[in-house]
Amino acid sequence: MSVTTSSAYQMATGGQGPEALLRGSDLTKSFGPTTALDHASLAIYPGEVVAVMGSSGSGKSTLLHCLAGIIPPDGGTVHYAGTDIGAMSDAQRSALRRRDFGFVFQFGQLVPELTCLENVTLPLRLAGLPRRPAEAAAREWLERLEVTDVSGKRPGDVSGGQGQRVAVARALVTGPKVVFADEPTGALDSLNGERVMGLLVSAAKDTSAAVVLVTHEARVAAYSDREVIVRDGRTREMELSR
Protein backbone atom coordinates (compact mmCIF):
# COMPACT_ATOMS: atom_id res chain seq x y z
CA MET A 1 0.00 0.00 0.00
CA SER A 2 1.45 3.36 -0.99
CA VAL A 3 0.39 6.85 -0.15
CA THR A 4 -0.82 9.04 -3.00
CA THR A 5 -2.23 12.54 -3.17
CA SER A 6 -4.86 11.75 -5.79
CA SER A 7 -8.16 10.05 -5.44
CA ALA A 8 -8.02 6.33 -5.79
CA TYR A 9 -11.54 6.48 -7.11
CA GLN A 10 -10.54 8.92 -9.82
CA MET A 11 -7.52 6.82 -10.61
CA ALA A 12 -9.67 3.75 -10.96
CA THR A 13 -11.99 5.58 -13.34
CA GLY A 14 -9.21 7.22 -15.29
CA GLY A 15 -10.03 10.61 -13.85
CA GLN A 16 -13.33 10.61 -15.69
CA GLY A 17 -15.53 9.68 -12.71
CA PRO A 18 -18.75 11.40 -11.78
CA GLU A 19 -18.86 14.71 -9.99
CA ALA A 20 -18.12 14.54 -6.26
CA LEU A 21 -21.33 14.28 -4.23
CA LEU A 22 -19.72 15.94 -1.21
CA ARG A 23 -16.58 17.97 -1.33
CA GLY A 24 -14.73 19.63 1.51
CA SER A 25 -12.02 21.97 0.29
CA ASP A 26 -9.18 23.57 2.22
CA LEU A 27 -10.96 23.13 5.56
CA THR A 28 -9.54 24.66 8.70
CA LYS A 29 -10.91 24.40 12.22
CA SER A 30 -9.42 25.29 15.57
CA PHE A 31 -10.70 24.78 19.10
CA GLY A 32 -8.96 27.48 21.09
CA PRO A 33 -5.24 26.99 20.63
CA THR A 34 -5.70 23.48 19.21
CA THR A 35 -5.77 23.13 15.46
CA ALA A 36 -8.08 20.28 14.48
CA LEU A 37 -8.09 20.78 10.71
CA ASP A 38 -5.28 22.38 8.78
CA HIS A 39 -6.37 22.94 5.17
CA ALA A 40 -7.85 19.48 4.84
CA SER A 41 -9.72 18.43 1.70
CA LEU A 42 -11.82 15.43 0.86
CA ALA A 43 -14.25 14.48 -1.89
CA ILE A 44 -16.89 11.78 -1.56
CA TYR A 45 -18.41 10.19 -4.66
CA PRO A 46 -21.80 8.53 -4.91
CA GLY A 47 -21.97 5.00 -3.58
CA GLU A 48 -18.40 4.72 -2.34
CA VAL A 49 -17.28 3.76 1.15
CA VAL A 50 -14.46 5.98 2.37
CA ALA A 51 -12.58 5.23 5.58
CA VAL A 52 -11.12 8.26 7.33
CA MET A 53 -8.35 7.00 9.54
CA GLY A 54 -5.95 8.57 11.95
CA SER A 55 -4.70 8.49 15.48
CA SER A 56 -6.60 9.91 18.40
CA GLY A 57 -6.81 13.71 18.18
CA SER A 58 -5.74 13.80 14.53
CA GLY A 59 -8.91 15.64 13.49
CA LYS A 60 -10.77 12.85 11.70
CA SER A 61 -14.02 13.30 13.65
CA THR A 62 -13.83 17.06 13.17
CA LEU A 63 -13.48 16.49 9.42
CA LEU A 64 -16.61 14.30 9.45
CA HIS A 65 -18.57 16.85 11.46
CA CYS A 66 -17.56 19.63 9.06
CA LEU A 67 -18.50 17.56 6.04
CA ALA A 68 -21.89 16.75 7.58
CA GLY A 69 -22.59 20.39 8.34
CA ILE A 70 -22.76 19.66 12.06
CA ILE A 71 -20.04 22.17 12.89
CA PRO A 72 -18.99 25.05 10.64
CA PRO A 73 -15.35 25.14 9.55
CA ASP A 74 -13.30 28.26 10.30
CA GLY A 75 -12.08 28.32 6.71
CA GLY A 76 -12.66 26.48 3.46
CA THR A 77 -15.92 25.26 1.99
CA VAL A 78 -18.12 22.19 1.98
CA HIS A 79 -20.25 21.62 -1.09
CA TYR A 80 -22.98 19.02 -1.23
CA ALA A 81 -24.41 18.32 -4.68
CA GLY A 82 -22.93 21.60 -5.78
CA THR A 83 -24.43 23.67 -2.94
CA ASP A 84 -22.30 25.37 -0.32
CA ILE A 85 -23.43 23.98 3.04
CA GLY A 86 -21.83 26.93 4.82
CA ALA A 87 -24.22 29.28 3.07
CA MET A 88 -27.27 27.34 4.21
CA SER A 89 -29.44 28.46 7.13
CA ASP A 90 -29.71 26.29 10.21
CA ALA A 91 -33.14 25.15 9.06
CA GLN A 92 -31.79 24.18 5.65
CA ARG A 93 -28.92 22.24 7.21
CA SER A 94 -31.42 20.49 9.51
CA ALA A 95 -33.50 19.56 6.49
CA LEU A 96 -30.38 18.29 4.71
CA ARG A 97 -29.47 16.07 7.64
CA ARG A 98 -33.03 14.80 7.80
CA ARG A 99 -33.32 14.14 4.07
CA ASP A 100 -29.95 13.30 2.56
CA PHE A 101 -27.66 12.32 5.41
CA GLY A 102 -27.66 9.49 7.89
CA PHE A 103 -25.58 9.18 11.05
CA VAL A 104 -24.15 6.31 13.07
CA PHE A 105 -22.02 7.31 16.02
CA GLN A 106 -20.18 5.32 18.66
CA PHE A 107 -23.04 5.71 21.16
CA GLY A 108 -25.58 8.16 22.42
CA GLN A 109 -27.36 8.94 19.21
CA LEU A 110 -30.59 7.11 20.00
CA VAL A 111 -33.28 8.89 21.98
CA PRO A 112 -33.49 6.86 25.21
CA GLU A 113 -37.17 7.64 25.82
CA LEU A 114 -38.34 6.22 22.48
CA THR A 115 -38.54 2.56 21.53
CA CYS A 116 -36.17 1.22 18.90
CA LEU A 117 -38.98 1.26 16.33
CA GLU A 118 -39.84 4.87 17.21
CA ASN A 119 -36.17 5.83 16.97
CA VAL A 120 -36.02 4.45 13.43
CA THR A 121 -39.25 6.21 12.42
CA LEU A 122 -38.10 9.50 13.98
CA PRO A 123 -36.41 11.10 10.94
CA LEU A 124 -39.38 10.17 8.78
CA ARG A 125 -41.86 11.52 11.31
CA LEU A 126 -39.86 14.73 11.71
CA ALA A 127 -40.01 15.09 7.95
CA GLY A 128 -43.78 14.91 8.10
CA LEU A 129 -44.46 11.32 7.03
CA PRO A 130 -47.58 9.77 8.60
CA ARG A 131 -47.03 7.16 11.28
CA ARG A 132 -48.10 4.01 9.42
CA PRO A 133 -45.85 4.26 6.35
CA ALA A 134 -43.01 5.46 8.59
CA GLU A 135 -43.42 2.43 10.83
CA ALA A 136 -43.72 0.06 7.89
CA ALA A 137 -40.42 1.33 6.47
CA ALA A 138 -38.78 1.17 9.88
CA ARG A 139 -39.89 -2.42 10.43
CA GLU A 140 -38.39 -3.48 7.13
CA TRP A 141 -35.06 -1.97 8.08
CA LEU A 142 -35.12 -3.51 11.55
CA GLU A 143 -35.78 -6.86 9.91
CA ARG A 144 -32.98 -6.31 7.41
CA LEU A 145 -30.61 -5.53 10.26
CA GLU A 146 -31.88 -8.53 12.26
CA VAL A 147 -33.19 -6.56 15.23
CA THR A 148 -36.94 -7.01 14.79
CA ASP A 149 -37.13 -8.56 18.24
CA VAL A 150 -36.03 -5.33 19.96
CA SER A 151 -38.37 -3.02 18.07
CA GLY A 152 -40.59 -2.49 21.12
CA LYS A 153 -37.71 -2.05 23.55
CA ARG A 154 -35.98 1.13 24.58
CA PRO A 155 -32.27 1.66 23.75
CA GLY A 156 -31.35 1.23 27.41
CA ASP A 157 -32.81 -2.28 27.37
CA VAL A 158 -30.89 -3.65 24.40
CA SER A 159 -27.24 -4.65 23.96
CA GLY A 160 -24.68 -2.33 22.43
CA GLY A 161 -24.55 -4.34 19.19
CA GLN A 162 -28.32 -4.32 18.85
CA GLY A 163 -28.39 -0.60 19.57
CA GLN A 164 -25.84 0.08 16.84
CA ARG A 165 -27.83 -1.94 14.32
CA VAL A 166 -30.93 0.08 15.27
CA ALA A 167 -28.84 3.22 14.70
CA VAL A 168 -27.81 1.89 11.26
CA ALA A 169 -31.45 1.23 10.44
CA ARG A 170 -32.32 4.76 11.47
CA ALA A 171 -29.46 6.16 9.38
CA LEU A 172 -30.61 4.32 6.27
CA VAL A 173 -34.40 4.46 6.55
CA THR A 174 -34.71 7.80 4.77
CA GLY A 175 -32.63 6.58 1.82
CA PRO A 176 -29.77 8.98 2.44
CA LYS A 177 -27.16 9.85 -0.13
CA VAL A 178 -24.40 9.88 2.47
CA VAL A 179 -24.06 7.96 5.73
CA PHE A 180 -21.62 9.38 8.26
CA ALA A 181 -20.32 6.75 10.66
CA ASP A 182 -18.02 7.91 13.45
CA GLU A 183 -16.34 4.93 15.16
CA PRO A 184 -19.55 2.88 14.78
CA THR A 185 -17.93 -0.19 16.34
CA GLY A 186 -15.90 1.63 18.96
CA ALA A 187 -18.00 0.36 21.88
CA LEU A 188 -18.54 -3.16 20.50
CA ASP A 189 -16.63 -6.40 20.77
CA SER A 190 -14.99 -7.66 17.57
CA LEU A 191 -17.76 -10.12 16.70
CA ASN A 192 -20.51 -7.54 17.05
CA GLY A 193 -18.34 -4.95 15.34
CA GLU A 194 -17.89 -7.18 12.29
CA ARG A 195 -21.58 -7.88 12.17
CA VAL A 196 -22.57 -4.20 12.35
CA MET A 197 -20.02 -3.20 9.71
CA GLY A 198 -21.08 -5.97 7.36
CA LEU A 199 -24.71 -4.95 7.62
CA LEU A 200 -23.96 -1.22 7.32
CA VAL A 201 -21.81 -1.53 4.21
CA SER A 202 -24.03 -4.04 2.42
CA ALA A 203 -27.14 -2.00 3.15
CA ALA A 204 -25.44 1.18 1.98
CA LYS A 205 -24.31 -0.52 -1.21
CA ASP A 206 -27.85 -1.74 -1.83
CA THR A 207 -29.20 1.79 -1.54
CA SER A 208 -26.25 3.40 -3.36
CA ALA A 209 -25.48 5.52 -0.32
CA ALA A 210 -21.95 6.77 0.14
CA VAL A 211 -20.43 6.02 3.54
CA VAL A 212 -17.91 8.22 5.32
CA LEU A 213 -16.43 5.95 7.95
CA VAL A 214 -14.26 7.42 10.68
CA THR A 215 -12.23 4.75 12.43
CA HIS A 216 -8.82 4.00 13.81
CA GLU A 217 -9.19 0.25 13.38
CA ALA A 218 -7.69 -1.37 10.29
CA ARG A 219 -10.20 -4.23 10.36
CA VAL A 220 -13.05 -1.71 10.17
CA ALA A 221 -11.33 0.29 7.47
CA ALA A 222 -11.06 -2.96 5.48
CA TYR A 223 -14.74 -2.55 4.57
CA SER A 224 -13.98 0.65 2.63
CA ASP A 225 -13.29 1.30 -1.05
CA ARG A 226 -10.56 3.77 -0.22
CA GLU A 227 -8.85 5.19 2.81
CA VAL A 228 -7.93 8.71 3.77
CA ILE A 229 -5.42 9.38 6.50
CA VAL A 230 -5.79 12.42 8.71
CA ARG A 231 -2.65 13.50 10.51
CA ASP A 232 -2.23 16.82 12.32
CA GLY A 233 -5.38 18.07 10.64
CA ARG A 234 -4.26 17.32 7.11
CA THR A 235 -5.63 14.66 4.76
CA ARG A 236 -3.63 12.26 2.72
CA GLU A 237 -5.15 9.69 0.39
CA MET A 238 -3.91 6.09 0.50
CA GLU A 239 -3.89 3.81 -2.50
CA LEU A 240 -5.39 0.49 -1.63
CA SER A 241 -3.65 -2.64 -2.70
CA ARG A 242 -6.23 -5.11 -1.48
Partner 1 sequence: MTATVSAPRTSVEKNSWPRDFALGVRLAVGGGRTSWMRLILGTIGIGLAVAVLLVFASFSNIMHSRDARTNASDRTSTVLSGVSPTQYIQVNEPYQGNSISGAYVHGTGPNSPVPPGITSLPGPNQIVVSPALADLLNSDAGAQLRPRFPQQIVGTIGEAGMRGPSDLLFYAGTGPLPTSGAIASSSEMNIYAFGRNPGSHSIDPTLMVLAIIGAVALLIPIFIFVSVSSRIAGAQRDRRLAALRLVGAGNWQVRRIAAAESLVSAGTGLVLGGLAFLGIRALAPQIDVLGWSTFSDDVVPSLPLALLIVLLVPVLSVGTVLFAMRRTIIEPLGVVRGGKPVRRRVWWRLGLIVLGVGLLFLAKPSSSHGSNSWVVLIAGGASALLIGVPAILPWLLERIIGRVQGGAPSWQLAIRRLQMDSGTPARVVGGVAVVLAGAIALQLMLFATANRYNVHSSPDSTDNGWVLVGTTAAAADQVATQLAKLPAAKRVDLIQTVNAIKANSPDTADQMDYNITVTSCQSIQRILHVANCVDGQAFLPSSQGDPVRIKPGDAWNMFGAHDMADHPKLLGSYTVPNNVIPVQVPTTTTMGPYLGGGVVLTPGAAAGLNLPSDRYASAWVLTDPNQLGAADQIANGLAAFTWQVNVDSLTSGDALNADQKTFVTIRSALLAGSLFTLLLAGVSMLVLALEQVRERRRPLAVLAAAGVPRTALGRSLLWQTAIPVVLAVVVAVGTGIGLAALVIRMTSMTLQIDWFTIGIFAGAALVLVLLVTALTLPALRSAMRLSALRTE
Helix locations, the chain, DSSP H: 8-12, 60-67, 90-99, 116-126, 131-144, 160-172, 190-206, 218-221
- CA–CA separation, 235 vs 141, rounded Å? 34
Closest CB to partner 1 among 14 and 156? 156
Nearer to partner 1, 187 or 238 (CB): 187
The nearer residue to partner 1, 55 or 94, going by C-beta atoms, is 94
Q: Kindly tell me which of 50 and 124 has the beta carbon lying closer to partner 1.
A: 124
d(CA 1, CA 25): 25
Q: Read off the amino acid at residue 64.
A: L
Per-residue CA distances from 114 to 117, 154, 222 (Å): 8, 6, 33
Give the nearest distance from C-beta 110 to partner 1 in angstroms: 7
* Least Å from the CB of residue 193 to partner 1: 10
Q: In what order do the strands lie in the sheet with 22-31?
A: 34-44, 22-31, 75-80, 83-84
Q: Which is nearer to partner 1, 45 or 141 (CB)?
A: 141
The residues that touch partner 1, with contacts defined as CB under 8 A, are 65, 68, 70-71, 90-91, 94-99, 103, 105, 107-114, 118, 122-129, 133-134, 136-137, 140-141, 144, 154, 156, 159-161, 170, 172-175, 187-189, 192, 203, 206-207
How far is Cα 53 from Cα 48, in angstroms, rounded to an integer? 16
**Nearest distance from C-beta of residue 170 to partner 1, angstroms:** 7
